[in-house]
Amino acid sequence: MTVVLELQSALRADLKDPFGPVSTDTAAVLAAAGDPLVTVGDIVTYHTLGAGAVPDLAFVDERTERAAVDDEVSDGIEDDRFDRVRAIENPPGTLTAALFDALADGLAADERTLVRVDGEEDLAALPAIATAPAGASVLYGQPGEGVVHVTVDPQVRERVVDLLGRMDGTPSRAFDALGIDRE
């Protein structure tokens, strides 16, 4: 496992403000969602599946707010709802080469992909926003508030790319892996 980027504590405040509107109405979020649809987090993925939509790409780690998800949530994210299932390692507070590879592969595939993360998937929303096509939707949880719906556009993409560039590690390697040209 190769850690490419690590979130330092000084940048955590930059993640407090959501990258899109927050809602507690999954059906309304899905009605406005673009294509492809990416979900990050067990609760968001569970509610998306429960509303009858299967994400094109989903990242889960069987945890929510640092605690194990309950059996209902875990059982509700069934592998057979997806065309493919990948397992990767990604330690808390990091972004690994394996996560970047799973993201790029999942976005390029014509099959719905579930990525089961051993560690933590929380930061996967950042590279997903940075690389998903314009108009795509990335959904992730905002603790205690609801689901954040990010519609990918140049402004939010630049905000996220700037944040990735300020993380500890090797941002140039991350950008290469994600196909992001910073020039």
Q: pTM score, two decimals?
A: 0.95
Is 121 annotated as a binding-site member?
A: yes
Listed in sequence order, the DSSP H helices in 33-170 are 42-50, 71-76, 97-108, 125-131, 154-165
How many C-beta atoms lie closer than 10 Å to residue 107's C-beta?
Answer: 20
Is 117 annotated as a binding-site member?
A: no
From CA 97, how far away is CA 27, in angstroms rounded?
33
CB-count exposure of residue 105 (10 Å: 0-12, 13-18, 19+) = middle
Query: pLDDT tens-digit profile of 73-122?
Result: 988 999 999 999 999 999 999 999 999 999 999 999 899 999 999 999 99
Does residue 3 have a pLDDT over 70?
A: yes
Query: pLDDT tens-digit profile of 12-69?
Result: 988 889 999 999 999 999 999 999 999 999 999 999 999 999 999 999 998 887 777 8
**pLDDT cut 70: percent of the chain above it:** 99
Is 65 annotated as a binding-site member?
A: no
Return the pLDDT at 42. 95
Does residue 182 have a pLDDT over 90?
A: no
Is 61 annotated as a binding-site member?
A: yes
Is 44 annotated as a binding-site member?
A: yes
Return the pLDDT at 183. 62
Return the pLDDT at 161. 96
